[in-house]
Amino acid sequence: MKTLITNGTVINATGTAQADVLVDAEKIVALFSPGTTDVQADHVINAAGKYVVPGGIDAHTHMEMPFGGTYASDTFETGTRAAAWGGTTSIIDFAIQKQGERVQDALETWHGLAAGNSAVDYSFHQVIGGVDDESLKAMESLVDEGVSSYKMFMAYPGVFYADDAQIVRAMQKARELGMMTMMHAENGPAIDVLAEQLVAQGKSTPYYHGLARAWQMEEEATHRAIMLADLTDTPLYIVHVGAKQALEQIAWARDKGKNVFAETCPQYLYLSLEKQLGASSEQWGDFEGAKWVCSTPLRAESEGHQDAMWQGLRTNDLQMVSTDHCPFCMKDQKELGKDDFRSIPNGIGSIEHRVDLLYQGVVDGRISLPRWVELISTTPARMFGMYGKKGVIQPGADADIVIYDPNGHTSIGVEKTHHMNMDYSAWEGFEIEGHVDVTMSRGKVLISDGQYHGTKSHGQFIKRGLSQALI
């Protein structure tokens, strides 16, 4: 079946153009000048006045992730359906190996969770939670299996934490294999000390989660990760950057020509410690703040962290925006920490809103249209080894296409546009001056006319190559 998308403005990371797009089966096969009359198609979509952009790629999600005695509330089925509603057509989730587990078993488990249960295409990063000779040997098979990136944690002692010696050994192996090292950069042992002291003082409400995970803990770990990567000559990707001081470390390394890359997330662009978790002492006892407990934490708007993140996106010291989508319901999940913020599952659900929230940055004059596409699709594809197949509107690419209406409107809220498996929205009340009208994945229309037309078995595993960001 052939589909022709007519009269739209095609936006790639390289610029904009008026063009018609022809899709045959799962691929984009041609771009035509507007009004070309001899094109044969079975189905025509009129995109007049709208943008035609490559489908969004969310390179940092956590479906069904075990954390704090519970599991992320979105399954691959519910989370990827919500992704499609929001214009995201590919995700990269994390296969999690904990200490004492085999890397191969962890990857097999995540394949089992996702296969036949994903509305959009998916891939995996490998979490290495226990560094030993066996896990380092297991890394050698990952690239052949299309898993060309792995993640380590400088936080969460006793669960995911890796010390400097373990990090160095893993980075050396990654250098040998050409893999991208991803790092959760927070000083976990020091954070645990601060958290214990705060609780001992009776300061146990969600607000203090952000104080325990102070910006100094993020800056220090970011610098340390950069130096260890420099020592081992390994490309480094810092996840969920939220502190301006950590961003300064990244900019410093990049100015020296180091292969250091980083992402931020929508929550660090729009949300803050004061507004979401309470700015005055009488509000600090309010458990509502648990809705926005995530790690790295929200930072104080008064200190300029949010503006710094937007600036980092403009200067390319931050290369992309992922969600770190790790949703938990308030009831029976976030409530686990009602008496102690240390027991609140860390995570915010945003997979449905990333494309819209970044488009609002275009409306507000913070980024350009091509930069919008670069951040939500093209750079994730290049960073993680799937550009050409994903991340671009061009012949030969997968027909992952979003038709976006700049004259539309999206009101975010549980009762309005919410499809994630959560009982609240961290983005309740946000208004977006734009709207996802059509989402197409490999030529199949998943969203159109306000209806979902996808299936939970449509998504396929993306076997990724090495990062193209280094080429």
Task: Give 100-151 pLDDT, tens digit per residue.
Answer: 889 999 999 999 999 999 999 999 999 999 899 999 999 999 999 999 999 9
For 120, the token pair is 């959009």
Tokens, residue 166: 């373990």
Query: CA 123 to CA 93: how far, in whole Å?
Result: 6
Q: Is the pLDDT of residue 284 over 90?
A: no
Distances (CA, A) of 465 to 178, 429, 438: 10, 40, 29
Interhelix angle 215-232/188-200, rounded to 10 degrees, is: 170
What percent of the chain shows pLDDT beyond 90? 91
Cα 98 from Cα 75, distance rounded (Å) = 20
Q: Which pLDDT value is given to residue 280?
A: 46
- For the chain, counts of helices (H) and of strands (E): 14, 23
Region of poorest pLDDT, from 22-36, 180-194, 215-229: 22-36
Asked, colleague to colleague, whether 2-53+392-452 and 55-380 share their fold, the answer is: no
Is residue 36 predicted with pLDDT exceeding 70?
A: yes
* pLDDT, the chain, mean: 95
Which pLDDT belongs to residue 285?
63
Read off the pTM. 0.97
| Per-residue pLDDT band at 22 (split at 50, 70, 90) | very high
d(CA 159, CA 137): 21
Q: Does domain 2-53+392-452 have CATH number 2.70.98.60?
A: no
CA-wise closest residue to 169 among 120, 225, 131? 131
CA distance 429 to 413: 6
Residues 374-418: pLDDT tens digits?
Answer: 999 999 999 999 999 999 999 999 999 999 999 999 999 998 778
Output the CA–CA distances (angstroms, integers) from residue 311 to 155, 273, 287, in the order listed. 27, 19, 32
Residue 250 has pLDDT above 90, yes or no: yes
**End-to-end Cα spacing for the chain:** 36
The overall longest dimension of the chain from CA atoms, in Å, is 75
CA atoms within 13 A on the CB side of 199: 15
Residue 209 in this model has a pLDDT that exceeds 80: yes
**pLDDT value, residue 471:** 55
Task: Say what the pLDDT of residue 35 is.
Answer: 80
Distances (CA, A) of 18 to 28, 142, 376, 398: 16, 41, 21, 20
> So where are the chain's domains?
2-53+392-452, 55-380
Confidence band, pLDDT 50/70/90 cuts, at residue 286: confident
For residues 467 and 471, what is the distance between their CA atoms, to the nearest angstrom?
8
May I ask the CATH architecture of the domain 55-380? Alpha-Beta Barrel (3.20)
- Identify the pLDDT of residue 281: 46
Distances (CA, A) of 175 to 150, 154, 332, 404, 451: 12, 19, 43, 40, 46
Cα radius of gyration (the chain): 21
For residues 452-458, average pLDDT: 97
Give the C-alpha separation, 261 to 226, whole Å. 10
Contact 130, 157 (CB under 8 A): no
Question: What 8-state DSSP symbol labels residue 398?
Answer: B
Place of tokens 């018609």: 20
**Which residues, in sequence order, are CB contacts of 21 under 8 Å at separation 6+?**
4, 5, 8, 10, 28, 30, 31, 32, 52, 393, 401
Q: Which of 291, 298, 285 is nearest to 348 (CA)?
A: 291
- Is the pLDDT at 68 greater than 90, yes or no? no
